[in-house]
Chains A and B, each alone.
Chain A
Amino acid sequence: MLDNLTTPQWVAFAWIELVVVYAGYLWYLNWRSRKAEEE
């Protein structure tokens, strides 16, 4: 499926992946912060 991506799609894929991982870690930090407050 990924083999047929065009150049703009590869570029978008790389940058979206960056945003998703940053957002995911931010979500994890918020969860840890809430957990620390609740303990």
Chain B
Amino acid sequence: MVNNMKARKRPLWLTLLGLACLVGFGIGAYLALVASPPDVNQGYLIKIMYAHVSVAWICFAAVALSAIFGMLYLWRGRPQDDIRALANAEAALVFSFLTVTGGMIYSKPTLNTYWTWDAKLTLTALMVALIVGYFLVRALIDDPRRRARVSAVVMIVVLVSLPFNYLAAEWFRTLHPAKSLNLDGSGVTMDASMLRILLINIAVAGLIYLFFVSERIRIGRATVAKRQAREPVPVSTEVVRVG
């Protein structure tokens, strides 16, 4: 049972987190748009990279967390895990949309095309389609438990596609540039000043993601609490076979 009064009010820390996001975004944008040096190949178009790469990283993190909470729901069956999975899925949708549209805006002036169906971009399109599918599945199933279970499986499928998406630019011939920052510690092919600005923008995007998810969880809890107050006994429409 979710505490109704506790879930209804926005806590002070969440309001302060929202303000921190505003300040952080201002600092990140200033560093990217004013302080960043031009790139030797791309010139000032490198300023788009800070917006594109930061949201792409957070998109991957949101998908991973949504799938993890989905797995927890499948394991424990607690409604809170479904609320957390849904909040992360919404953030994944927002950040995946930003990743794709930002990538297209970055690609046109640098590579002279908005889109091409190579491995990296096709896997990204597939990821967005599956995230949209997650919400279609949720809209089509009335029973809350079945809805949570099926949508959790959809997000686990998205999670499985992530390593292929992340490594597609290394494995296949693709228009998407190879990584400049290798998470396995094998090296960074980026100027230190640019790397600092990129990491700050990733941290700011992470802060904004945290605010979005925390606020969405609060709203989800308030909605569930109201529903529980109206209908104290949850009713499942699933058919249970006995014997």
A residues near B (Cβ < 8 Å) are 2-3, 5, 7-8, 10-11, 13-15, 17-18, 21-22, 25-26, 29, 32-33, 36-37, 39
What count of chain B residues pass the 8 Å CB interface test? 33
Are B226 and A14 closer than 8 Å at their CB atoms?
Answer: no
Question: Known contacts being A14-B105, A29-B215, is A21 close to B94, with CB within 8 Å?
Answer: yes
Are B94 and A25 closer than 8 Å at their CB atoms?
Answer: yes
Question: Known contacts being A10-B109, A15-B33, is A37 close to B222, with CB within 8 Å?
Answer: yes
Instruction: Judge if B44 is at the interface, Cβ distance under 8 Å.
Output: yes
Question: Known contacts being A7-B43, A11-B45, is A18 close to B109, with CB within 8 Å?
Answer: no
Produce 1/0 per residue, B143-175, CB < 8 A to A.
000000000000000000000000000000000
Query: In whole angstroms, how far apart are the Cα atoms of A17 and B215 in the complex?
Result: 22
Which single member of A10, A15, A18 contacts B45 (CB below 8 Å)?
A: A10
Chain B contacts with A in 75-132, Cβ cutoff 8 A: 90, 94, 97-98, 101-102, 105-106, 108-109
User: Closest chain A residue to B221 by CB distance?
Assistant: A36
Contacts of A8 in B (CB 8 A): 44
Contacts of B102 in A (CB 8 A): 14, 17-18
Are A39 and B223 closer than 8 Å at their CB atoms?
Answer: yes
Are B8 and A10 closer than 8 Å at their CB atoms?
Answer: no
Contacts of B219 in A (CB 8 A): 29, 32-33, 36
21 contacts between A and B (CB under 8 A): A8-B44, A10-B45, A10-B48, A10-B105, A14-B47, A14-B51, A14-B52, A14-B102, A15-B29, A15-B48, A17-B101, A18-B98, A21-B94, A21-B97, A21-B98, A21-B101, A22-B25, A29-B215, A32-B216, A32-B219, A33-B222
